[in-house]
Structure 1
Amino acid sequence: MLTLYSYPGLFGVADNNGYGLKVFAFLKLAGVPFRHEHLFDASAAPRGQLPYIDDEGVAIGDSDTILAHLSASRQLTIEVELTAAQLDENLQFSRLLDDLYWVMSFSRWKDERFWPAFRDALLTEHSSLDAAGLDKARQYNFQRYAAQGIGRFEPEAAYARGLADLALLARRVPPEGFVHGPRPTSADAAIYGFLANIHFSPIPTPLKLFLTAQPNLVRHCEAIHGAVMASAPS
């Protein structure tokens, strides 16, 4: 059976990282049977990054590559009715969420106002972690943020990027149904992966406060959450 390797859950979602939750949601929405293995150590993953899948002994990383592989290898019909323009829009959503990822991560690990609550939530939910290890992970993330660029922003400027991303999503996600109609597609799985990690967190970051005030985004997130968590794999 196919195995998904991703970070552990937090705040009631299946993966506390948007990319892993995106793949999890896609698998569930597409009806692909799989096992879900949670890891903190990504050293054995392709490119040293989670998530990845093991499909009959072949390891495949990168969330978009995983989704493309699954669609082709299993002839999935989740996107079969989409037009070329809608598929192009899915790619645009993916790139937008790449930007939102960095701001969401910044809010958890970098911002001194919210880091203690995030750290304590991880320690409470995952007994294998300790404060020293999380401090080490935090310093590693600081290096990543500096290299990517978000770490060079003041918090207000960083959040301005993320809020602009969320505002665009709020303009594109309909009040009913899903992005491309009555059935969810990979775009909805991707959007859920990131929004769920903001919406279900109790930590009052600027991203959380903005999202809470968008009823269409909240409805979309909770609808996908109900669908994918109805029967989580072992």
Structure 2
Amino acid sequence: MLELLQFHPAFGLMNPSPFCMKVEVFLRLAGLPYRCRNGEVPLRMPKRKLPVLRDGDLLVCDSQAILVHLQQRYGAGMPASLTAPETAGELVIRRTLEEHTLFAGLWLRWVDPPAWPQLKDAMFGRVPAPLRWVVPPLVRRKIRRDIWGQGVGRHSREEIVARAKADLDAVVELLGPLPYYAGQEPGALDATVYAFAANMLWAPIDSPLRAHARGHPRLVAYAQRMRERVGA
């Protein structure tokens, strides 16, 4: 059976990581049997990040590489919308979310002072003392450094929020009147968009981005439709 190595679920979501949630959503849409191994440590993984998929003796790292692997190996039994080649527009939406919006969201969770206590309790509540007092600031420092290195972390809070809102507005606009980004049935991109949308809308961490997302009726309806489709 396929085994998904990922972070612990949190916030009542499949996963607080959009990348881990993306893979699990895709697995459910594809109807593939799998089990989750939660609470893995990224530093133990080949690329030092999660998720990782174990398929027999094969370890597949990186969420997009996992989706491609599943499409290539098991695509014959999937709905056609899940195996359709990625269009140029879909690539742009996915890259916007994964390589820009992500870092704004990380900043608003891990760096923004009002959000940090809520996140720390959710992410590290299972860590035994005294590590519970030592590990969170170390992880936070690393993530802050990563966000700075990517570039988003060099902006002011107001600029980060404005950029994330602009990303979200564009992604919602590109959905148009269709029920899913792939059309009448969900496709691979929908696994990505839903993972980000669910984390924005339903993670119990107050932020300007969550309020902005909830102000998009089309996004809220889309996320609810996807939640009903995958059952989480």
1:123–1:131 Cα contact (<8 Å) kept: no
Q: Find the aligned partners of 2:74 and 2:82 in 1 and give their Cα distance.
A: 16
Counterpart in the other structure of 1:219: 221
Quick one: distance in 1 between partners of 2:202 and 2:193?
Answer: 14
Residues 150-195 of structure 1: CA deviation (Å, up to 9, x unaligned): 2211111111111111101221224552112221111111001111
Matching of residues 136-151 of structure 1 within 5 Å: 136-151=138-153
1:29 pairs with 2:29: yes
Pairs within 5 Å for 1:66-81: 66-76=66-76, 77-80=78-81
Deviates more, 1:165-174 or 1:9-18: 165-174
SS at match of 1:70: helix
Contact 1:79/1:186 (<8 A) preserved: no
Question: Which structure has more RCO (C-alpha within 8 Å, separation ≥ 6)?
Answer: 1
Question: What one-letter code is carried by the residue in structure 2 that aligns with 1:185?
Answer: G
Residue 6 of structure 2 is matched in structure 1 by 6
User: Does the CA contact (< 8 Å) of 1:159 and 1:206 recur in 2?
Assistant: yes
Which residue of the partner structure matches residue 168 of structure 2? 166
Task: Give 1:202's aligned residue.
Answer: 204
- Corresponding residue of 1:115: 116
Q: Which amino acid aligns with 1:78?
A: P
Q: Following TM superposition, by how much is the alpha carbon of 1:227 offset from its aligned partner in structure 2, in angstroms?
A: 2.4
Structure 2 CA distance for aligned equivalents of residues 159 and 191 of structure 1: 19
Structure 2 CA distance for partners of 1:40 and 1:130, relative to 1, 3 Å: farther
Call closer, same or farther: CA 1:132–1:226 in 2, change over 3 Å.
farther
TM-score, normalised on structure 1? 0.90
Q: Which runs of 5+ in 1 are unaligned?
A: none
Partner of 2:89: 89
Contact 1:22/1:192 (<8 A) preserved: yes
Residue identity matched to 2:138: K
* Percent of aligned pairs sharing the same letter: 28
Q: 1:172-221 CA deviation, whole Å, 9 max, x = no partner? A: 22455211222111111100111111111122211100000111111111
Q: State the AA in 1 paired with 2:174.
A: R
Q: How does 1:122-133 map to 2 (within 5 A)?
A: 122-124=123-125, 126=126, 128=128, 130-133=132-135
- Classify the secondary structure of the residue corresponding to 1:157: helix
CA contact (8 A) 2:4 2:36 kept: yes
In the alignment, is residue 192 of structure 1 matched against residue 194 of structure 2? yes
Relative distance call for 1:81 and 1:147 in structure 2 (3 A) is closer
CA–CA distance in 2 between the matches of 1:201 and 1:48? Answer: 25
- Structure 1 residues 178-187 or 52-61, which shifts more? 178-187
Matched residue pairs, number?
228
Gap regions ≥5 residues in structure 2: none
Aligned letter for 2:104? V
